[in-house]
Structure 1
């Protein structure tokens, strides 16, 4: 991709992120193009559908989330890393209404544009769990699929207006169930 095209692509994604945050996943492509100060044809050349645009935004953020897991693996104790991972996941899920449904569908569909990014998040979660299990701070009777399922359930719940205010508490409950001896510091972080 040429440098100017790459700059346009990045700019459109940044503007689209703001518009979608304001208007939701049904935001108008025309409005995004207008606010990005590009023609609709330019926007559609990069993202032929609203879904393609949303997938590009989600993939970028999923990749950043996976990078965060890599940092947590080396910079935190295993139990702190798992608690921090849930906080990162929760922030991601809260900033992307409906993302959990997209991820659940993409997780087992290699043809999905989200598949590789979802697989990376799943793998990162499993690594953090295995590290905790190796140190004896995480339950031994669960695996990466279980952890990913709990994360998906939490993400789905916080999409619901009646549960959104309890997101921190729900995250604390889940991490307390995953960790074998959650410290009081971890409990304070989760609320």
Structure 2
């Protein structure tokens, strides 16, 4: 595992369009069909990273708490499955079903979507507003595997609550930390 921390990016960029395989439905899904009315949360994750495993149940709780409020969640795995077969579509489907993901789990085979969104690690979180402009990039919360801080989703929850309340967002980005995306050679 190569530990990676996300860099700050210029917020306000428009979410790039995509069409990716939804591993549960076994069909292509497009951003225009998945975006939320109020906001859209992108989660670059994978199956094997301890940092993702550490927060997986909270991702399900978050999506369940916010999806009826007009916020959609999209999980994307972009890892090279030739060298990391545990992140392949079949095993992605198993994880999504085991944890009852209430969001699509998409496979970015070409890694073009991860590059377009400047994703760096798993997990890597980005929030886009109703116009699909990026308003947050960063961590879920300050818990990590091995520290004693409980997983709460506090940083992401604050952003989502501010969006729902119509509050001005601070633009603050707390770096996410996790396994680097396994890029193809």
Structure holding more strand per residue: 2
Q: Which has the higher contact order (CA 8 A, sep 6+)?
A: 2
Structure holding more helix per residue: 1
Q: Same fold (TM over 0.5)?
A: no
TM band (smaller chain) = under 0.3
- TM-score scaled by structure 1? 0.25
